Structure 1
Amino acid sequence: MTAGKPLRADARRNRDAVLAKARETFDDGTFFELRFDDFARLAGVGTGTLYRHFPTREALAEAVYREEVATLCARARRLQAELPAAEALASFLRDMVGYIDAHQGLARTLSTLMATGTGTLAEGSRELEQAVTDLVTAAVAEGTIRSDVTAGAVMMALHGIGAAHDRPDWRAEADGVITLLLAGLRRSP
């Protein structure tokens, strides 16, 4: 696929169908159990179409990851445009817990793929951190959170929450950690 060249409508539909099926297999834990060619069959496209868009399993996983990161960053920008800064940050952090909860299979798949040393994961992390930086910076400028807060610290808290996803009662604990984090971010009167 040529970078920068827009896809025809049918090619875009085929690519999106393969990505949707890959996302489903992340969530149900079968991404690595399937033969790579099975993604074409499941998406209702030919194997040539699959390989044209995604020459390897890793390329498919990376494409899903890139789309997920883009969606999360767009969500952060939307919240920032629609809400006061502190509310936007709080909403984004709570949404991230929901996202992690809903996409545990994606997290497991990505951790397996990290061993390949791909730069896509690092690039996605930088993009997410920039989205969080923008939210934190706006809340600091608004005067609602402490000025010594960094996006890196907030990202570290999110990574810790995600890393503990296999704990019993994880969701309630994760929501509680976000509540603690938000309380710690508040600027003292």
Structure 2
Amino acid sequence: MASDGDGDRDGGAGRARPKRTDARRNEKTLLEAAAAIFVTAGVDAPVRDIAARAGVGTGTIYRHFPTRADLIIAVYRHQVEACAEAGPALLATSETPHAALGQWINLFVDFLVTKHGLAGVLQSDSAGFDTLHAYFLDRLVPVCSELLQAAADAGEIRSDLDAYALMRGVGNLCIGADSDPRYDARRLVELLVAGLRRPR
């Protein structure tokens, strides 16, 4: 990806210096704005809409992300990291582990909605897509496992639930949500999570 001007060159060594704190903060703002727009309008949403939400000009987005594929992949990675970091935080702050699991699954659904356009963007780069998918599994399956284990230890859900299977199930429920306005994937996912609870 081309330099956006935020990382100066390191003299004769030719290595890019780490981005300054303000540059990282600006990039995070852009990624969060893009993710929010992608969730509601899809990955083909106009760049001007993302720029408006982030409070910057479109040129700023192109300096950070020269192509739409660059932006979508960066949003994908940003959301994976946000989901991964949210799991432990939700366990620490939610009323119950099951509540933490439900909130985390909601974040995961947001991620899946954004992810729908990724395959199309990377259709000519299957190796790149496979690498991102492996990264997604490596980061998120352990987090989901931790949430399930905490809820099982609390006696809220069964102890034989598999994180990968649950994530696949949630993913399958989200298929078609973007093509049928009557299909409420979030409601179905909510029912799925509620159904994990052990009867009182």
TM-score normalised by L of structure 1: 0.70
Matches of 1:86 and 1:62, distance apart in 2 = 31
Indicate which of 97, 115, 122 corresponds to 2:134: 122
Aligned counterpart, 1:79 = 90
Residue type matched to 2:121 in 1? L
Question: Structure with the greater relative contact order (CA < 8 A, sep ≥ 6): 1 or 2?
Answer: 1
Matches of 2:147 and 2:165, distance apart in 1 = 13
Going from structure 1 to structure 2, the CA distance change for 1:87 and 1:120 (only over 3 Å counts) comes to: same
Contact 1:140–1:146 (Cα < 8 Å) also in 2: yes
The alignment-based identity, stated in percent, is 29
Going from structure 1 to structure 2, the CA distance change for 1:4 and 1:68 (only over 3 Å counts) comes to: farther
1:169 aligns with 2:177: no
Contact 2:43–2:117 (Cα < 8 Å) also in 1: no
TM-score normalised by L of structure 2: 0.67
1:110 aligns with 2:118: yes
Deviation at 1:159, TM superposition (A): 0.5
The unaligned stretches of length 5 or more in structure 1 are none
Q: How do residues 29-108 of structure 1 correspond to structure 2 at under 5 angstroms?
A: 29=42, 31=44, 43-44=56-57, 50=62, 53-54=64-65, 56-83=67-94, 84-97=96-109, 99=110, 104=113, 106-108=114-116
Matches of 1:24 and 1:182, distance apart in 2 = 26
Residue type matched to 2:98 in 1? A
Report the structure, 1 or 2, having the larger helix content: 1
Matches of 1:4 and 1:158, distance apart in 2 = 40
Residue type matched to 1:61 in 2? I
Deviation at 1:113, TM superposition (A): 2.9
1:187 aligns with 2:195: no
Deviation at 1:44, TM superposition (A): 3.2
- 2:117 match: secondary structure: helix
Deviation at 1:65, TM superposition (A): 1.0
Q: How many residues are aligned here?
A: 177
